[in-house]
Structure 1
């Protein structure tokens, strides 16, 4: 009996030690980060010679980036700006890009919405296991009542609704375009309309406009500017590169901003972990590196290995059309923002991000 009591006590001690160590590591990471002040344009910079990076390789990387139609490139180390470059004209075509210039996030905005969903759940406004029809009402699809009732919010977050993606407009949220193909949770498919409907879900759950909810929960607390706008049939976020970097810094700090917990660290960890086994490189509307395989939009084929082999395994990304990238690398305390255009017009231009890391990895090795 004493032996069992000893083993039980030892187990509790080890559990407590591991929990304390994990929390200590999180706090250490957060406390080592710099957070730019709210309501100000000032942002502390870190000279390249203080990073320990290969300056020659960095020069080669930046020279290569000049030929990729990049409009904004921002690299943070420990929250401080190491690289900030702007090229080409603004989105309006009126004048050159600068730190205040607005650009579109495209599908990189999905990770913003995923974060808001986690905050709404924390406020008990919704549960991810809830049926979608609870917030959108019956008949939000053209499925049978039984098929529609099977879809839950978690399926929207993980791109596993089972909505038909064959020969339909994937941006169209009209019920006529939302038909059955597979049981929810049995098929991974990158479906924009499924994501866009989360705007309506959040508005129904919060009783506020999506824009107001975003501004109150994320925008104002971290000093993040920008706006949501209907673009075609999509709901797209627009901001400058620094605002995208602020959001990346919030994620890097596990949901904390300068001592204030904006979103729980548990949810950030969950959002940036494999959310299902159909595509292990996908969390909650967020792309993950370092996994055993990945799938791409519009392709059911499974590719072996990580999305970006040359990048750190713990990197996760918000990615959008034409190379809108927000990359967070916890092991390196890095946040990288890339905005611009690119000849690869696929929904997720993974070749561009691979090319970037083939050239940037030697910089930080």
Structure 2
């Protein structure tokens, strides 16, 4: 049985009221849920003119595909909030690699505060020998190379980011490869700020947007973020609003624009640890093959995404003022980030949002 937090209201279906709601929606400003409160304003499917008859097929598909939670925001307000398979609004779940975007965001904050420069080499902060690459090759690797997955280090050696496991394959900037070496940015920030990564993250990002209760948990030597689904939605809302929460510009807008744009010329569908839709070609994790076309053809071309193992999703669509969250187990077996599930899911989402 599904547990649906937000009941999809069928009030205000008269043409007069629908027209009034549509006019109001077109003029409303971005809404931000209060810090330190569980309240969050909602709006109805009907008020947006979306297709209510396609909601149940979407929910059925989500439940069938091992989903635990699903949220849709429009202009910051909750339109759908659904929980499945025994999960609840108060329970936490892991972000997996969708949490890479948290690291990218905090990197932008640390640069704004003058602690780091993303164009500086990593060894300026961690010292030499943080990899097993020859010194002249290690010194080519900048913080930006970590943000863009172009470190040139061997991605075939697993998740371990100890120096012995970070081995040279190509010069930094010449090869795109999905690699957990990005987590060294957390060490860079800790070293530069003189704080623990967790403390800097909590005070500069988590607490400022009300992501209460979330935590970094160690898993096989890597920190993985866990939170409620609403906390993931708060972060998605920050990303939609280009790093601004109400009147507080937490991350520079220029940095967020760069983070959600093509960051290098190898994988056009990759920014600063964000995936980008609508590009002419893309690469996938664990592959050096270039695929022609867009990541998710059915999804809006301006969409950018945080994608994690076992289908953790943050979809941000600026043109529609929409944020969509999906947490759960893998829809169809284990996958690293993108899967066929994204395309089918978007067909069903499209049927609802027209």
TM-score (norm 2): 0.90
- Residue 64 (structure 1) shift: 1.5
Q: For structure 2, which runs of at least 5 residues remain unmatched after alignment?
A: 1-25
The equivalent position to 2:283 in structure 1, one of 295, 300, 319, is 295
After the TM superposition, which parts of structure 1 deviate over 6 Å for at least 4 consecutive aligned residues?
none
Deviation at 1:354, TM superposition (A): 1.3
Residues in 2 aligned to 1:318 and 1:187: alpha-carbon distance in whole angstroms: 21
Question: Deviation of residue 174 (structure 1)?
Answer: 1.2
CA distance in 1, matches of 2:293, 2:28: 34
Q: Is the Cα–Cα contact under 8 Å of residues 311 and 335 in structure 2 kept in the other structure?
A: no
| Secondary structure of 2:64's aligned partner | coil
Verify the 8 A CA contact 1:143 1:179 in the aligned structure 2. yes
Q: 1:31: how far off?
A: 6.9
Q: Which residue of 1 aligns with 2:49?
A: 52
Aligned partner (choices 151, 176, 185) of residue 141 of structure 2? 151
Q: Distance in 1 between matches of 2:289 and 2:81?
A: 37
Kept in 1, the 8 Å contact 2:315–2:325? The answer is: yes
Q: Secondary structure of 2:68's partner?
A: strand
The alignment status of 1:234 with 2:222, answered yes or no, reads yes
1:30–1:253 CA contact under 8 A, matched in 2: no
> Secondary structure of the equivalent of 1:212?
helix
How much is the aligned-residue C-alpha RMSD, in angstroms?
1.5
Partner of 1:22: none
1:75 aligns with 2:63: no
SS of the residue aligned with 1:221? coil
**For 1:222, what is the secondary structure of its paired residue?**
coil
Cα distance between partner residues in 2 of 1:31 and 1:65 = 30
Partner of 2:128: 138
- Which residue in the other structure is 2:210 paired with? 223
Cα distance in 1 for residues equivalent to 2:67 and 2:291? 27
Which of 171, 196, 209 is the aligned partner of 2:196?
A: 209
Aligned mate of 2:348, from 352, 359, 364: 359
Q: Give, in angstroms, the shift of residue 143 of structure 1.
A: 1.4
Does the 8 Å contact 1:307/1:350 carry over to 2? no
User: Which of 321, 329, 336 does residue 341 from structure 1 map onto?
Assistant: 329
Separation in 2, partners of 1:311, 1:63: 20
Q: How far apart, CA to CA, are the structure 2 residues paired with 1:165 and 1:210?
A: 24
Which residue matches 2:296? 308
Task: Give the Cα separation in 1 of the matches to 2:207 and 2:27.
Answer: 20
CA contact (8 A) 2:119 2:143 kept: yes
Alpha-carbon distance, 1:59 to partner: 2.2
Q: For 1:352 and 1:344, locate their aligned partners in 2 and report how far apart those are by CA, in whole Å.
A: 11
Is residue 2:179 matched to residue 1:181? no
8 A contact 1:229–1:238 mirrored in 2: yes
Deviates more, 1:331-340 or 1:352-361: 352-361
Whether the 8 Å contact between 2:141 and 2:172 is mirrored in structure 1 is yes
Tell me the number of residue pairs that the alignment of Structure 1 and Structure 2 aligns.
328
Q: Deviations over 1:27-60 (max 9, x none)?
A: xx99711110010101111111111111112222
Give the Cα separation in 1 of the matches to 2:221 and 2:69: 26
Match of 2:114 in 1: 124
Whether the 8 Å CA contact 1:254–1:269 is kept in 2: the answer is: yes
Matches within 5 A, 1:236-255: 236-255=224-243
Aligned partner of residue 299 in structure 1, secondary structure: coil
Instruction: Report the equivalent of 2:105.
Output: 115
Any idea what SS the aligned residue of 1:267 has? helix
Does residue 85 of structure 1 match 2:82?
A: yes
Aligned-partner SS, 1:76: strand
For residues 7-35 of structure 1, the C-alpha deviation after alignment (integer angstroms, 9 at most, x for no partner) is xxxxxxxxxxxxxxxxxxxxxx9971111
